[in-house]
Structure 1
Amino acid sequence: MQFTDLPIHHNLLKALEVKGLDTPTEIQSKAIPYGLMGKDLIASSKTGSGKTLAFLLPAVQRVLTKQPLSRRDPRVLILAPTRELAKQVFLQLKGLIAKQQLKAALILGGENFNDQVKALKHHPQFIVGTAGRVADHLAGKSLFLNGLEMLILDEADRMLDLGFAPQLRLINQAADHRKRQSMMFSATLDSAAMHELTQSLLKSPQRISVGSAGEEHKDIQQQFYLADHVTHKELLLSHMINQQEYRQIIVFTATRTDTERLTVILKEQGLHAVALSGDLTQGQRNNIMSEFGRGQHHILVTTDIASRGLDLLNVALVVNFDLPKLADEYVHRVGRTGRAGNKGQAVSFVGPKDWFSFLAIKSFMQQNIEFNEIEGLTAKFKGLKPPKAKVAPSKKSTNKKVNQKDKPQQAPNRVKTMQGKEAGDMPMKRKPRAILKPEDDLEE
């Protein structure tokens, strides 16, 4: 199938031609036809499969070919879990509508609220944003969704993980009418939270699943190395980065502090590294990602803030300095390389603190994982044994002798006077007799 085989507006076909795209990916070929028919859709596919275009094309096609329900309200709302992913979607959308008389607004948390209010007053047909800030504009009456025609949730599972379920319900209620089309893309479809969200947002949705989140990515070579401690990990990292020339590298860490510390270490080795974390302002984060995307930085050291949605074609190596707590997050991390048919490499260090995360990843991937070794950097750590199950104490009586001191002391026997016992049973104390002496005076 080619894009020209689909009933797509000629302006969209020109935009795809400019991007050099002529053949849809598997998720695109399965999802786009249902999207063009106006059906609700829930889809899952592995990272780097091209799902963003799978919902953008039907959205732009609808705006180009159908009359709006309202000329004041936005026609399409696209929600993403993070600011970085929302910005990535927004840039792809801008590329599709660049030569159309269509407007789009980016509504993110951490940016000037009043500037966003001004942008919304220009009545954009498309809004791309994060659920929290969109909900804020609904509460502030600067945004209305009564005429919304398409609601699209990208990485819906991640939004639930981040606690955005109340905001998603609020947005759904603000645009709850029978003519609305909803599309949901997620890495996992089987959780209870996802099922509840699907029931409330979608109407008789078409389900599409391309591969599984844990399926092995053929374009990515994955390697695991055991490490004794943080210093050992630092030596492994230096070896990996210097053993061959990579175009660009992303190093994932567990904490914001580690991003700064590792960046300093790499700079001391003469490497061009930059740190990205949630401590930075949105403007600083945007600048760093823009510079890294243009190739101005060789190494990006970051937390999971950059694990999803970023389409960086020059990233040839991903290093998990620390393993993520969630197994599916590992898939999104390594998916920053090996994109668009390019080959990539993913290396993970497994220390004592990472062991149980490794076991979760191994179970999720359902693959036989063997550890690699580097001569001179072999780890003494070989894994942790599973904790022994505690045996409940038996309730059966034992024949152990009870120490006399441990016996409870019995209260002294008391005479129960109401039972008619003879007085002989009761101890009696007589008064002593008075003895008269001769010298005592007696009364007559």
Structure 2
Amino acid sequence: MSDTSIFQELHSGLQKAFQKLKFEVPSEVQEKAIEPILDGHDVMVSAETGSGKTAAFLLPIIHNLLENPSRHTSTRVLILAPTRELARQIDKHARDLTQFTQIKTGLIIGGADYKYQQAIFRDNPEIIIATPGRMLEHCEKQGADLNDLEYLVIDEADKMFEMGFTDDVQAIAGFCKSDRQTLLFSATLKTKGIKHLTDYLMDEPQAIVLNSFEAKNDSIEQFIITADDLVHKEKLTQWLLTNEEYRKAIVFCNTKEQVDRLGGLIRYHKIAAGTLHGDISQSVRNHVMTQFRDSKIKVLIASDVAARGIDVKDIDLVINFDMAHNAEDYIHRIGRTARAGETGKAVSLISHREWNLMVTIEKAISGSFQLTSIKELPANYKGPKKLKASGKAAGHKKKKDGAKKLTAREKKRFEKKHSKKSGTSSGSSTSSSQKQKPKKKFGATMVDSGDSPMKKKQ
């Protein structure tokens, strides 16, 4: 089977969408997942962000809906996503693929008008894309009819567990038709609890593992820059956004307060930037994302609510103002760049409090971060003491005149050796016979690149 044959076998309504959207060759996850889904199997897939997995489940589902129309049934497809942003992204993708068909989609997420969503259910769209909390609310109030459901899709299952939606997903499944096809997509299938969920929801699922979130993404250059404090980080971020060459950039912070503070600072320096976090209203979030997609703003400053589901073209640069809490979140953050075969750059600003976390993440992803600096904004903090000591040793620190200071071990050995000798000069013996052991070099994978590889725009 050729690379393009999978697309060529799909419904003519999808073929028209392919032409407009310039879909030509399927991605690896699409090649491996579409046929088992078309054949009716329950499928669980582990694939990295930006791999084309949304289309991998939408295409076979839409094809089967078109091949087997049913005008007198309730909702036929339910797609659950952990965040509003991801749900909106899936809805947009579904609308693009169904634009030349009669298939309708509905978006059910928190923050939107509840009564309006009730009208969506009454309109009876074939496909519902929802976040678990709001969907369960409609189910419990009998506003959603899932008795005719043919497909239940759980996207970003690992994030579902992290955000505490496991019970909601299982409760929603209880409202669904039992004889259905269940599809689960995740960055990793190793997350604790996923096996329990698959055992509960799926019937002899086929597992498709393309990679794991620990795998290094070779298309992304990953740098770290040490920083002294909050103000220093803000100056570094401003410098990067002013001097780096990029089409779009995302800056990640760990708190809503820092997102707002940094957003105001960046805009003060005449950089077009938007902010995104959980306390921002849905209408404003939609407006910010539209501006970002349309390149009316070049920079998005966000909390981790934006790490999943943002599929925006032309993001070249990701800055971790605060280091991610774990390797999984780090991978999803930097995965906003280098999508669809492109390359990107990720820069993490590391304070003394974050160094150990950074090393843990580096080991978890089996990668190697390049330690660099910005000449205009040097940091007093250069890393842990071991790294500093190693630097001094490599630099051949100038010896002081006089005797070397004995270590405790050397002193004990010296005293034992000379305890029975009288009149021996410890100073002369030390200088002539005792040699200090060389310091061990720092064993981490960090590389001090010296001058920063980051160049100013010409």
| Fold shared by both chains (TM-score > 0.5) | yes
Provide the residue aligned with 2:29 in structure 1.
27
For residues 221 and 370 of structure 1, the distance between their equivalents in structure 2, rounded to whole angstroms, comes to: 8
Q: State, as a whole percentage, how many aligned pairs show the same letter.
A: 36
The 2-side partners of 1:90 and 1:138 are apart by 20
Q: Which residue of 2 aligns with 1:395?
A: none
Q: CA deviation at 1:67?
A: 4.9
The amino acid across from 2:366 in the alignment is Q
Which whole-Å CA distance do the structure 2 matches of 1:166 and 1:200 have between them?
Answer: 11
Structure 2: gaps of 5 or more residues? 387-458
State the one-letter code of the partner of 1:120.
F
Single out whichever of 74-83 and 302-311 deviates more from structure 2: 302-311
Counterpart of 2:279 in structure 1 is 279
Which one-letter code corresponds to 2:104 in the other structure? K
Secondary structure of 2:275's counterpart equals strand
* Structure 1 residue 4, shift from structure 2 partner: 3.5
Q: How many Å apart are 1:301 and its aligned residue?
A: 0.9
Following the alignment from structure 2 to structure 1, what is the Cα–Cα distance between the partners of residues 295 and 288? 11
The aligned counterpart of 1:92 is: 93
Query: Which residue of 2 is the match for residue 260 of structure 1?
Result: 260
Measured against aligned partners, the alpha-carbon deviations of 1:138-173 in whole angstroms (never above 9, x if no partner) come to: 001010211100000110110111111111111111
Residue 204 of structure 2 corresponds to 204
Question: Match of 2:66, SS?
Answer: helix
Write the letter of the residue equivalent to 1:87.
R
Higher mean C-alpha deviation, range 118-127 or range 353-362: 353-362
Bigger Rg, which one: 1
Query: Hey, what's the Cα distance between the residues in 2 that align with 1:175 and 1:323?
Result: 40
Counterpart position of 2:176:
175
Cα contact 2:16–2:100 (8 A) shared by 1: no
C-alpha distance in structure 2 between counterparts of 1:98 and 1:356, whole Å? 49
Q: Distance in 2 between matches of 1:366 and 1:115?
A: 47
Which residue pairs with 2:357 in the alignment?
357
Q: Distance in 2 between matches of 1:98 and 1:67?
A: 16
The code of the aligned residue for 2:94 comes to L
Pair 1:113–1:3, CA change in 2 (3 A): farther
**SS of the counterpart of 1:349?**
strand
Query: Does the 8 Å CA contact 2:227/2:381 hold for their aligned counterparts?
Result: yes
> Compared with structure 1, are the counterparts of its residues 199 and 272 closer, same or farther at alpha carbon in structure 2 (3 Å cutoff)?
same
**In the TM superposition, what is the alpha-carbon distance from 1:250 to its structure 2 partner?**
0.9
Instruction: Indicate which of 48, 51, 54 corresponds to 1:49.
Output: 51
Within 5 Å, give how 1:175-194 maps onto structure 2: 175-178=176-179, 180-194=180-194
The farther-off stretch of 137-146 and 270-279 is 270-279
Match of 1:165 in 2: 166
Contact 2:308 2:332 in 1 (8 A): yes
Q: Is the Cα–Cα contact under 8 Å of residues 2 and 22 in structure 1 kept in the other structure?
A: no
Q: 2:83 — aligned with what?
A: 82
Find out whether 1:14 has 2:32 as its counterpart: no
Map of 1:293-308 to 2, 5 A cutoff? 293-308=293-308
Cα displacement (A) at 1:279? 1.2
Q: Please report how far the alpha carbon of residue 204 of structure 1 lies from its aligned counterpart in structure 2 after TM superposition.
A: 0.5
- Which has the larger displacement, 147-156 or 4-13? 4-13
| Letter in structure 2 aligned against 1:13 | Q
| Post-superposition CA distance 1:388-429 (Å, at most 9, x none) | xxxxxxxxxxxxxxxxxxxxxxxxxxxxxxxxxxxxxxxxxx
Tell me, in whole angstroms, the C-alpha distance in 2 between the residues paired with 1:168 and 1:267.
40
Residue 355 of structure 2 aligns to which amino acid in structure 1?
A: W
Question: Does structure 2 conserve the Cα–Cα contact (< 8 Å) formed by 1:3 and 1:13?
Answer: no
1:183 is matched by which residue type in structure 2? L
| 3-state SS in 2 of match to 1:121 | helix
Whole-Å Cα distance in 2 between the matches of residues 288 and 374 of structure 1?
30
Q: What letter is aligned with 1:118? A: A
Q: Helix, strand or coil for the counterpart of 2:257?
A: helix
The answer to whether the 8 A contact 1:291-1:297 is kept is: yes
Is 1:126 aligned to residue 127 of structure 2?
yes
What is the one-letter code of the residue matched to 1:12? L
* Corresponding residue number in structure 1 for 2:114: 113
Measured in 1, the distance between the counterparts of 2:119 and 2:270 equals: 45
List runs of 5+ in structure 1 lacking aligned partners.
387-444
Q: Is the 8 A contact 1:327 1:357 kept in 2?
A: no
Give the partner amino acid of 2:158: D
Contact 1:4/1:13, CA 8 A, preserved across alignment: no
Contact 2:253 2:259 in 1 (8 A): yes
> Structure 1 residues 3 and 182 mapped into 2: Cα distance closer, same or farther (>3 Å)?
farther
SS in structure 2 of the partner of residue 353 of structure 1 = coil
User: Which whole-Å CA distance do the structure 1 matches of 2:241 and 2:100 have between them?
Assistant: 42
1:155-201 residue CA offsets vs partner (Å, 9 max, x unmatched): 011011111111111111111423x0010000111233111111111
Who is 2:102 aligned against?
101
d(CA) in 1 for partners of 2:187, 2:156: 7
Q: What root-mean-square deviation, in Å, do the aligned CA atoms of Structure 1 and Structure 2 show? A: 1.7
Between the aligned partners of 2:281 and 2:178, the Cα distance in structure 1 is: 37
1:38-437 pair list within 5 angstroms: 38-68=40-70, 71-178=72-179, 180-383=180-383
Q: Which amino acid letter does the alignment assign opposite residue 74 of structure 2?
A: D
Q: What corresponds to 2:38 in structure 1?
A: 36
Q: Distance in 2 between matches of 1:308 and 1:340?
A: 16
Distance 1:209 1:328 in 2: 16
Structure 2 Cα separation of the partners of residues 309 and 265 of structure 1: 26
The offset of 1:384, in angstroms, is: 5.0
Distance in 1 (CA, whole Å) between partners of 2:155 and 2:6 is 26
Cα deviation code 1:23-75 (max 9, x no counterpart): 0011110011111111000001111110000000011011111254x833200
Alignment partners' CA distance in 1, 2:312 and 2:197: 31
* Contact 2:148–2:177 (CA under 8 A) maintained in structure 1: no
Residue 248 of structure 1: how far off its partner (Å) = 1.4
Amino acid in structure 1 at the alignment position of 2:62: V
Cα distance in 2 for residues equivalent to 1:303 and 1:3:
38
1:435 aligned residue: none
